[in-house]
Amino acid sequence: MLSPAKINLGLEIPYKRPDGFHEIRSVFLRLNWGDDIQIEPITSGSFELVSNNQIILEKRRFYDEVSEKGDLSKNILFKTFSKIRAHYRELPGVRIHLTKKIPPAAGLGGGSTNAASLFSFYFGLSPEFNSDHIFKLAAEIGADVPFFLSENHCLVSGKGEILKDIQVHPGQGILALTPQVLSTAEMYAGLKKPLQADPPSKRWISLDKDVEFSLKEGNWAALREKLVNDFEPLAFQKFPQLGKLKESFLANGASYSSLTGSGSCIYGLVQGLEIREELLAKMQTEFPDLTFVSFNY
């Protein structure tokens, strides 16, 4: 089963909330690329994880440190298992086989998508699951987890738990799996957003009509100045090569390119398989030491 990665189309951080989280506004796209995960019930009620670590070499150790080879108590799958079992003791234990491809510190939701896969597995085992309760538990695990429980592309707001399904024209893209590490906490701190006492999350639930129309039509070039990732200036200042990657994606034929999440991966979007293959060849020639992945959405 695919545990899909996501990318952000734009990421605005208007303010910091009284609960310590930041208010966000972004479009999340679900990709057809990610981790492979197989989950089976075991009667012992225990948790077993078997990993095949295929993350790019520069970041592979970060996953090993929280896998069965390291401190499993820090693994998001184990945390999810523990939280679900605390509320539903009658559920069985699990044995999970995970082929890990999504790198950490990448802005791709690698941990959150795995957690959502485990939630989804347990959904099918008990009719007692209440969807509102599950989404609440999922949000406690991570802000991006509720999105991965949805099957659609979404406009995401609040701290990540407010979702609105949106129509996005199908397309293709190239993802650069970069070795740089950007700390999420440091990136948010670097924004220095003011605290807002009463965050009006609902004001961020709608898109401008022209942006919504461009998403439906797949007119990415029209969105270059309208969908902005607030983390790009910080990321590009710390790692200028990330900014160069974005410039090269656009120069080599991508209609739209951006940092995803708080980093550090960069992607380029196109319309058409032939254009994507041409873009991939150019990027591989220009950046021979990087790993690139083709995806659809």
Q: What is the DSSP letter of 178?
A: -
- For the chain, the first-to-last Cα distance in angstroms comes to 17
How many Cα neighbours within 13 Å face the side chain of 27? 23
Last residue in a domain, options 165, 185, 220: 165
Least trusted range by pLDDT, from 26-30, 101-105, 200-204, 260-264: 200-204
Same domain for 120 and 209: no
Which pLDDT score, from 0 to 100, does residue 21 have?
85
- State yes or no: 199 annotated in a binding site: no
Q: What is the CATH number of the domain that holds 63?
A: 3.30.230.10
Residue 172 φ/ψ, nearest 5 degrees:
-130, 165
- State yes or no: 107 annotated in a binding site: yes
Same domain for 155 and 17: yes
CB atoms within 10 A of CB 192: 7
Same domain for 16 and 31: yes
- State yes or no: 155 annotated in a binding site: no
User: CA 35 to CA 20: how far, in whole Å?
Assistant: 30
User: CA 68 to CA 81: how far, in whole Å?
Assistant: 14
- State yes or no: 185 annotated in a binding site: no
Q: Output the average pLDDT for the chain.
A: 92
**Four-point Cα dihedral 288, 257, 32, 125, nearest 10:** 120
Burial code (b: 16+ CB inside 10 Å, e: under 16) for 163-172 equals: beebebeebb
Same domain for 260 and 151: no
User: CA 62 to CA 227: how far, in whole Å?
Assistant: 31
Same domain for 99 and 183: no
Q: Which helix (H) or strand (E) holds 244?
A: helix 240-251
- State yes or no: 281 annotated in a binding site: no
Which pLDDT score, from 0 to 100, does residue 276 have?
97
- State yes or no: 263 annotated in a binding site: no
Least trusted range by pLDDT, from 141-150, 186-195, 232-241: 186-195
**Number of domains, the chain:** 2
Same domain for 239 and 126: no
Last residue in a domain, options 165, 198, 214: 165
Q: What is the CATH number of the domain that holds 193?
A: 3.30.70.890
User: CA 84 to CA 96: how far, in whole Å?
Assistant: 15
**Parallel/antiparallel/unpaired status of strands 154-157 and 47-53:** unpaired
Same domain for 184 and 139: no
Average pLDDT over residues 135-163: 91
Domain of 257? 172-296
Q: Which helix (H) or strand (E) holds 68?
A: none
- Nearest alpha carbon to residue 270 among 297, 245, 237: 297
Same domain for 199 and 245: yes
Same domain for 9 and 120: yes
Would you name the residues annotated as active-site residues?
6, 144
**Parallel/antiparallel/unpaired status of strands 25-42 and 154-157:** antiparallel
Polymer length of the chain = 297
Same domain for 25 and 130: yes
Q: 43-89, pLDDT tens digit by residue? A: 888 999 999 999 999 999 999 999 999 999 999 999 999 999 998 88
Residue 53's alpha-carbon distances to 67, 134, 196, 290, in angstroms, are 9, 29, 41, 18
- State yes or no: 112 annotated in a binding site: yes
- State yes or no: 106 annotated in a binding site: yes
Same domain for 24 and 130: yes
Is the Cβ–Cβ distance between 6 and 148 less than 8 Å? yes
